[in-house]
């Protein structure tokens, strides 16, 4: 059993079925990619898993317990953290304040300092978030999520609009989190190349359904993927 098991998940908006009976599982201590064209239901899937949206059907099991349609805060407390497609940092707070504002029971200062080291942003601790580059804001957003020390991290397009140097930094951070802290990462992107570099497995979503799941090489070589997604 995976750390995350999604079964028959559904959600419509009016006449649009965004997520259409999706089943997928994520192995513990893996980096799993969720890829698909624009509008294929990737972000909606994250919103359903993290409790930001209510489902129309299906189940989400995290760490062996059903969490379907629980409140976002409850799900985060259980150890399932997520970032949003648009980095949600507080522009007019400093980097350090952005970390401290997260509600935790632990020693916030110690954790915040540790995370500043992890994202290599000690020098920017007193900079306002709005003065950071897009990539640094992504890193800060990930660090904010890590304040709650989640076991599973859902990241929605962390590489979008980020310069190549910082893309490499974000990639390295994710590998470190899995290899050294035993975390699990589920990451959305719409490009195969970036995901292929770090993912153990990739789930391809088309029209709110899983087209297939496999290692990056198998996914690239799949004829259905080439036809329906890569346009080959
Ligand atoms: P992706 O992240 O793969 O680009 P989304 O999950 O954002 O796709 O969207 C899937 C479909 O659901 C799209 O057709 C989108 O327009 C629709 N959708 C998503 N969120 C909403 C919403 N809050 N209200 C209405 N339609 C939505
Ligand atoms: Mg999206």
- List of domains in the chain: 4-228 (3.40.50.300)
Ligand 1 contacts CB of residue 39 (under 6 A): yes
**Centroid of ligand 2 to alpha carbon of 104 (angstroms):** 28
Q: What pTM was estimated for this model as a whole?
A: 0.94
Ligand 1 contacts CB of residue 16 (under 6 A): yes
Ligand 1 contacts CB of residue 41 (under 6 A): yes
Tens of pLDDT, residues 28-73: 999 999 999 999 999 999 999 999 999 999 999 999 999 999 999 9
The CA–CA distances, whole Å, from 163 to 59, 158, 205, 218 equal 37, 11, 26, 28
Structure-block tokens of residue 125:
């601790």
Ligand with minimal distance to 85 CA: 2
User: What ipTM did this prediction achieve?
Assistant: 0.98
Measured from the CA of 41, which atom of ligand 1 is nearest?
6
């Amino acid at each position: 059993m995976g750390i995350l098991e999604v079964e028959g998940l559904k959600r419509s908006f009016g006449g649009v079925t965004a997520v259409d009976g999706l089943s997928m599982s994520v192995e513990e201590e893996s980096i799993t990619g969720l890829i698909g064209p624009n509008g294929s239901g990737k972000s909606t899937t994250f919103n359903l898993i993290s409790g930001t949206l209510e489902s129309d059907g299906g189940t989400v099991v995290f760490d062996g317990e059903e969490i379907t349609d629980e409140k976002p805060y409850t799900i985060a407390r259980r150890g399932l953290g997520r970032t949003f497609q648009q980095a949600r940092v507080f522009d007019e707070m400093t980097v350090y304040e952005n970390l401290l504002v997260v509600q935790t029971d632990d020693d916030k200062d110690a954790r915040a300092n540790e995370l500043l080291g992890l994202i290599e942003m000690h020098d920017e601790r007193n900079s306002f978030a709005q003065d950071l580059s897009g990539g640094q804001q992504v890193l800060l957003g990930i660090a904010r999520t890590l304040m709650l020390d989640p076991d599973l991290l859902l990241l929605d397009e962390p590489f979008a609009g980020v310069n190549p140097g910082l893309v490499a930094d974000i990639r390295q951070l994710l590998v470190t989190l899995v290899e050294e802290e035993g975390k699990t990462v589920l990451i959305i992107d719409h490009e195969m190349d970036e995901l292929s570099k770090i993912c153990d497995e990739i789930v391809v979503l088309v029209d709110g359904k899983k087209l297939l799941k496999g290692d990056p090489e198998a996914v690239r070589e799949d004829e259905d993927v080439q036809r329906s997604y890569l346009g080959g």
